[in-house]
Amino acid sequence: MLLLKTCPRCRGDLHLRSDLDGKFLSCIQCGYARDLPGKTATPKEKPAVLRGRPPAEAHAV
C-alpha cells in the first residue's frame, strides 16, 4: 500500500512493508522509516537440552 505525499520528513510517498520484526512504513524518496504499533514477532525459543547428555563444562586443570 502506498500513502502518497505523507512522509513527515520530505513529503514523499510512504510504502507499507513488513519483515521478521513486524510492519513498518518506509519512504520511497528519503528512506524515513517508522514502526507500526501492533503485535511483533517473538524470538524463537532456545532449543531444549538433549536428554541423557550432560552440558559441556570447562574443567580447570
Asked if the structure places residue 24 within a domain, the reply is: yes
Using pLDDT thresholds of 50, 70 and 90, give the confidence band for residue 48. low
Looking at per-residue pLDDT, the higher value among 41 and 25 belongs to 25
Q: How many CB atoms lie within 10 A of CB 22?
A: 13
pLDDT average, residue stretch 36-57: 60
Number of domains the chain is built from: 1
Q: Is residue 46 part of a domain?
A: no
Identify whether 10 is part of a domain: yes
Q: In which domain, by residue range, is 8 found? A: 2-35
Is the confidence at residue 49, as pLDDT, over 80? no
29 domain-assigned: yes
Query: Would residue 52 count as lying in a domain?
Result: no
Residue 55 has pLDDT above 80, yes or no: no
Decide: 14 and 27 in contact? Cβ < 8 Å: yes
